[in-house]
Amino acid sequence: MPRPVLLVLLFAIAAVGLAGCAAPPREDICRRILEAILPANADPKVEAVEPDPLSSQGVVLRFTANQTGIRLPEQRHLLCAFAPSSGDPARFGLVSVELDGRPLSPVKLILLHRWLGQDVPPTLLQGDAPPRWPLALHLAYLLQQLLNGIVVGSVLAMIAAGYTLVYGVTRHVQFAFGEVMAIGALMASLAYLSLGMAGWHSLAAAVVLGLPFAIAVGALSGFWMQHVAFAPLWRANTQSALIAAIGMSIFLEEFLRLSQGARERWLPSVLPGKHQLFVAAGFDVTLTNSQIAVVVLAVALSSILAWILGRTRMGRSYRATADDPRMAALLGVDCGRVVATAYTGGAALSAAAGVALLVHYGEAGGQSGLMIGFKALTAALLGGIGSFQGALLGGLLIGLFEALWAGYIDAAWRDAAVFTVLVLVLMFRPAGLLGHADAITSAGPGGGPGSALRSHPTTQPPASSRPAG
């Protein structure tokens, strides 16, 4: 059996096995709310999950928590009420929260919506003018949004680095890396659920096996895409490669939709717990374990990639191919192998970003890749397409911009705001912050020097220094 057909068959078998595996999303959201509203040292333990007796859209968590002083443990309860799916723009829109029968104040409920990344219901924003916040509360809220933005930016930076790896040696944009990110999240959820059904509920087993499995499947997907669709187009014009990239993105998105369904898969929290940094004016600035894991993963993979590009033989071959593929081929560099490695590495980074999103949000879905992929492309263009440092910088900037926009202006318009940045970059700074003009005007593979990874633009020698004849 040909190798591409075998890879497609193995990928299809693995993806179909994900169907039907998910935890109830409302229960998972309510568990996240429980961790958010209790003190950092409460360590809540959920003992029962019940439907709301007054509404079919509510969830009641009965739990015990650590208490100060010498007191016997008391069973407490948290009620989370949600709007019907057909009656609210947000699929699982939160309506109200009650802790031990006492509802949260409107201000806390608004902050909770922002923390969950959901749109605030208009009813909460109507009525009396909002109270004036003290300066300490403003600063604490700003710091919390900056921390949230760094986490989102770390995910976007990993995918943007994947775009950069491919563009550096092909001058082609690979649109399908957003769908590869979704594949990574789905494969990690499959590994997590499979270990749970086998009786291995430990976090170590999920991390040790789930992350490498997802990265391996993502890398195979990138190698398969390059071998089947893009290897024949490596030296083709940009328009042909662009059409192929869009077609591959649509193919993967439809494949995931038909094999997994259109709805998202929700998992229980893989890394529960949070750390309270400080409290200002009653507002807790916290950092969750999942956020720490996302940033650590992004830093580790970025460091490994930087070491490979700068210190290894493959890195030298990559830089030579990006700088001048014709000269590199004359010196014995296998440029086709370098391009295949770039596709494989970029897809592996995108799959790792999907695992990071799964760990942080507990959500995996085949339809989430398109929007995140375009945001990562915006980050790559902002930093300088083809520049590894620019990809990391652009990812962090877009993550911070999105978090601040959602926290201070309107979360419903954050996607439109990000893509407005994309339009402005293409209009006024098409080479990006750290890019150069030759990064976008070069003819690309087979078109002579002009690497986006070069620190300075290539200039022709003066006429007087050229050899005669």
List the structure tokens of 410.
């309107």
More confident residue, 342 or 414: 342
> Is residue 338 located within the same domain as residue 197?
yes
Whether 221 is in a domain gets the answer: yes
Nearest of 357, 321, 310, 343 to residue 157 by alpha carbon: 357
Give the model confidence (pLDDT) of 216-226 as tens digits.
999 999 999 98
Give the model confidence (pLDDT) of 42-85 as tens digits.
778 888 888 877 666 788 888 888 766 555 567 788 888 887 65
> Is residue 284 located within the same domain as residue 310?
yes
Whether 2 is in a domain gets the answer: no
What number is the average pLDDT over the span 342-351? 94
Give the pLDDT score at 158: 95
Predicted confidence (pLDDT) at residue 191 exceeds the cutoff of 90: no
Q: Report the range out of 51-55, 72-76, 272-276, 291-295 with the highest average pLDDT.
A: 291-295
First-last CA distance in the chain: 55
Of 12-16, 278-282, 323-327, which gets the smallest average pLDDT? 12-16
DSSP code per residue over 54-66: T-TTEEEEEEE--
> Is residue 214 located within the same domain as residue 337?
yes
Predicted confidence (pLDDT) at residue 259 exceeds the cutoff of 50: yes
Predicted confidence (pLDDT) at residue 243 exceeds the cutoff of 60: yes
Q: Tokens 């082609």 sit at which residue?
A: 172
Give the pLDDT score at 183: 92
- Work out the burial of residue 37: count CB atoms within 10 Å of its CB; fewer than 13 is exposed, 13-18 middle, 19 or more buried: middle
Domain final residue pick, 73, 108, 131? 131
Whether 255 is in a domain gets the answer: yes
> 10 Å Cβ neighbour count for 112?
18
Give the pLDDT score at 458: 38
DSSP code per residue over 304-359: HHHHHHHHSHHHHHHHHHHH-HHHHHHTT--HHHHHHHHHHHHHHHHHHHHHHHHH
Give the pLDDT score at 338: 93
What number is the average pLDDT over the span 345-367? 88
Give the pLDDT score at 56: 65
More confident residue, 22 or 32: 32
Query: Using CA atoms, how far apart are residues 354 and 181, in angstroms rounded to an integer?
Result: 4
Predicted confidence (pLDDT) at residue 278 exceeds the cutoff of 90: no
Give the model confidence (pLDDT) of 151-170 as tens digits.
999 999 999 999 999 998 88
> Is residue 73 located within the same domain as residue 100?
yes
DSSP code per residue over 83-140: --GGG-SSTT-EEEEEETTEEPPHHHHHHHHHHHTPPPPHHHHSSSPPPPPPHHHHHH
Q: Report the range out of 95-109, 191-205, 389-403 with the highest average pLDDT.
A: 389-403
Cβ proximity of 441 and 458 under 8 Å: no
Query: Using CA atoms, how far apart are residues 67 and 291, in angstroms rounded to an integer?
Result: 26
More confident residue, 340 or 199: 340
- Work out the burial of residue 39: count CB atoms within 10 Å of its CB; fewer than 13 is exposed, 13-18 middle, 19 or more buried: middle
Domain count within the chain: 2
Query: Using CA atoms, how far apart are residues 146 and 140, in angstroms rounded to an integer?
Result: 10
Q: Describe the strand order of the beta sheet including 45-51 as a list of residue ranges.
A: 45-51, 58-64, 76-82, 94-99, 102-103
More confident residue, 261 or 420: 420
> Is residue 150 located within the same domain as residue 290?
yes
Q: In CATH, what number is assigned to the domain containing residue 166?
A: 1.10.3470
Query: Using CA atoms, how far apart are residues 77 and 101, in angstroms rounded to an integer?
Result: 8
Element (H, E) at 364: strand 363-364
Predicted confidence (pLDDT) at residue 196 exceeds the cutoff of 80: no
| Phi, psi (rounded to 5 degrees) for 387 | -100, 120
Give the pLDDT score at 190: 85
Cβ proximity of 375 and 398 under 8 Å: yes
Give the pLDDT score at 2: 53
| SS3 of residue 46 by DSSP | strand
> Is residue 40 located within the same domain as residue 154?
no
pTM for the whole thing?
Answer: 0.72
> Is residue 197 located within the same domain as residue 309?
yes
Whether 20 is in a domain gets the answer: no
> Is residue 50 located within the same domain as residue 159?
no
More confident residue, 4 or 365: 365
Query: Using CA atoms, how far apart are residues 452 and 441, in angstroms rounded to an integer?
Result: 10
Of 124-138, 226-240, 297-311, 312-326, which gets the smallest average pLDDT? 124-138
What number is the average pLDDT over the span 208-213? 84
Nearest of 22, 94, 11 to residue 267 by alpha carbon: 22
Element (H, E) at 407: helix 388-408
Give the pLDDT score at 340: 92
Whether 398 is in a domain gets the answer: yes
Give the pLDDT score at 85: 58
Whether 393 is in a domain gets the answer: yes
| SS3 of residue 285 by DSSP | strand
Using only C-alpha atoms, the chain has a radius of gyration, in whole angstroms, of 24
More confident residue, 229 or 11: 229
Give the pLDDT score at 157: 95
Predicted confidence (pLDDT) at residue 29 exceeds the cutoff of 70: yes
Element (H, E) at 277: strand 274-280
> Is residue 122 located within the same domain as residue 147?
no
The Cα-based distances of 381 to 168, 429, 434 in angstroms read: 13, 9, 10
Whether 167 is in a domain gets the answer: yes
Predicted confidence (pLDDT) at residue 88 exceeds the cutoff of 80: no
What number is the average pLDDT over the span 109-132? 69
> Is residue 218 located within the same domain as residue 72?
no
More confident residue, 27 or 184: 184
Instruction: Supply the DSSP symbol for 69.
Output: S
Predicted confidence (pLDDT) at residue 193 exceeds the cutoff of 70: yes
Give the pLDDT score at 234: 66
> Is residue 98 located within the same domain as residue 162?
no
Give the pLDDT score at 351: 94
- For residue 401, which amino acid is it? F
**Domain enclosing residue 202, as ranges:** 143-441
Kindly report the average pLDDT of the chain as a whole number: 78
Predicted confidence (pLDDT) at residue 8 exceeds the cutoff of 50: no
pLDDT level of residue 377 (50, 70, 90 thresholds): very high
Cβ proximity of 153 and 135 under 8 Å: no
> Is residue 121 located within the same domain as residue 192?
no
Whether 21 is in a domain gets the answer: no
